[in-house]
Amino acid sequence: MIICRTKAEMREAVRGWKRAGETVGVVPTMGYLHEGHLGLVRMARQKADRVVATIFVNPTQFGPNEDLSTYPRDEARDLALLEAEGTDAVFLPSVEEMYGAGGDTFVEVPGLSAILQGALRPGHFRGVSTVVTKLFNIVTPDFAVFGEKDYQQLTLIRQMVRDLDMPLEIVPHKTVREDDGLAMSSRNVRLTAEHRAEAVQLSRSLSAAEELAKSAPAISVLEAAVRKSLGEAPSGKVESVDIRDAETLEELSGTLDRPAVVLLAVRFGTVLLIDQRVIAPAAR
């Protein structure tokens, strides 16, 4: 496994593979890897001849009161996990290497950046779209794999790639969960025992929504049911419950009559957890 800490090293490795006619898949991460990330690596292996994982805790997507300084990191463990999966290269740039001095260019998808989590975290998705664009330009992959847990991010990146004619395929991967249903996240390790026990209510609420969807309820009824279910986690502060068109993330009203995505954001202490599930009314 090649470890590349500079853009030049990463580009040189990819050039060699592409000269040999090999395809390249990339899995962008912020490190502190878990089984969810490794599932993305395995999917990339299925799609491409060579797999690159990137590890970069991107400062431009953190707000002034967010957890950049406390974001968990364990480089040695991450590299061991990636090597065990047969990853061909890991791109591990510093902030200075990634952004340099005097950089003043950003990439933004205005509509999708301003809604949902974007409204709660101004500037977050501008940071995401900019760093992902840079990673795509450096690695020049044929495929990029992203998890569905960050559903708004996945939708935004798909639109960015389509709008800017980027020559790669975005491959989604289903949310990987713990045995009790909690979506895997690097932030789960920061939950207290009490909060960890209650956090499973996010996935239970999504399961309740999936079952209720079969009766094609009113969107307002569906949202109320999800909020009631989340109320069974008394330590959690519900920041948002949104039910949106699964393809466009447009707001829905009236009766559920098409695939929708239920998006949750719940804070336990200082830890913000997100989860999602695509639901649809039963076929008639």
Q: Which residues are catalytic?
A: 37
C-alpha torsion angle, residues 99, 101, 102, 106 (rounded to 10): 0
The phi, psi pair for 265, rounded to 5°, reads -140, 115
Cβ-proximal residues to 27 (8 Å cutoff; 6+ apart), any chain = 37, 40, 41, 44, 51, 52, 53, 54, 144, 145
The phi, psi pair for 134, rounded to 5°, reads -60, -45
